[in-house]
Amino acid sequence: MSYIDEFSFSFLNFITYQLSDQRKIHEENARRFHALAAQETFNALNRRHYEGKLPRCNLHGLHLDEAIAYTKDHLARCRQAGTNKTIIVVGKGSHSQADSKLKPMILKMLEATDGIVAGMHKKNEGCIVVEF
């Protein structure tokens, strides 16, 4: 290998490591900003949630893992506040490209949770009624 080839190879390795480090930084920023956007979305749809007003929890606009985490937090807050009944708003799934994923996963999670009874709202198929 000539000196120029060795220099080119070393330079390419250096650039590769630099780009890899930048990618990691961008991925971390993307995760951080996405979490912030999820929090802002949740707060906008659940303005009174942190004031102890727990009649409902609106999960519109959240990804599945975020929705599960917010639902678990909401249930814990309801139990702590002594709430008898709450509504989880999951939507009908009409904006999903395929079948709704949020509603069945939240229902499955709720059914596996001890001490609650969960079922679809009688008049609104985009809501789940949870009784403690």
119 strand-pairing partners? 129
C-alpha pair distances (Å), 8 with each of 13, 14, 127: 9, 10, 61
Q: Give the Cα-Cα-Cα angle 8, 10, 15 (nearest 5 degrees).
A: 90
- Which residues have a Cβ under 8 Å from the Cβ of 41 and sit 6 or more positions away? 60, 61, 62
The reported pLDDT for the residue numbered 23 is 94
The reported pLDDT for the residue numbered 105 is 94
E strand map for the chain: 56-58, 85-89, 117-120, 127-131
DSSP code, position 54 = -
The reported pLDDT for the residue numbered 3 is 57
Provide the residue type at 107 as one letter. L
Give, for all 132 residues of the chain, the pLDDT tens digit: 565 577 677 888 888 989 999 999 999 999 999 999 999 999 999 988 777 777 899 999 899 999 999 999 999 999 998 999 999 999 876 666 667 789 999 999 999 999 999 999 999 989 999 999
The reported pLDDT for the residue numbered 50 is 72
Q: Give the Cα-Cα-Cα angle 58, 62, 67 (nearest 5 degrees).
A: 70
pTM of the model: 0.76
100 and 93 Cβ atoms separated by less than 8 Å: yes
